[in-house]
Amino acid sequence: MKKNRYSAEIKWAVVKDKLSGQFTNQQIMDKYHIKNVSQIKTWMKWYRGNQLHRFDQPIGKQYSFGHGPDNVSKEEKVNRQIEHLKMENDILKKYLEIVEELKRE
């Protein structure tokens, strides 16, 4: 059995689709050709745990001390963090909209 290697772009796309709430796990698995739902859960756990460096690590590499390979530029790390914060902001906005909607009912 061969291990699949997913690019960082696919991992981020899966997280974004999952956070949007528009897709089920099965739809995401079909869309990105992911074999097991546990892979989606792992990526979501990384995202929620703010372990963004893990999205770029290859299979078998566990970056912990420096949080990722040295060849990633500081600008790229900052851009990833900005993207992460934007996603969090979108989630919070959506949550507040739902709270307001429930108050009106």
pLDDT tens by residue, the chain, 105 residues:
567 788 888 998 999 999 888 999 999 999 999 999 999 999 999 998 888 878 877 666 665 555 555 556 778 778 878 887 888 888 888 888 888 988 888
Does this model's pTM top 0.75? no
Structure tokens given for 25 = 């796990």
pLDDT at residue 67, as a whole number: 53
Domain range for 22 is: 8-104
Provide the domain count of the chain.
Answer: 1
In a domain, 35, yes or no: yes
In a domain, 26, yes or no: yes
Cβ neighbours of residue 87 closer than 8 Å, sequence gap 6 or more: 15, 16, 19, 47
Query: In angstroms, what CA-CA distances link 60 with 27, 39, 44, 54?
Result: 28, 15, 19, 11
In a domain, 60, yes or no: yes
In a domain, 17, yes or no: yes
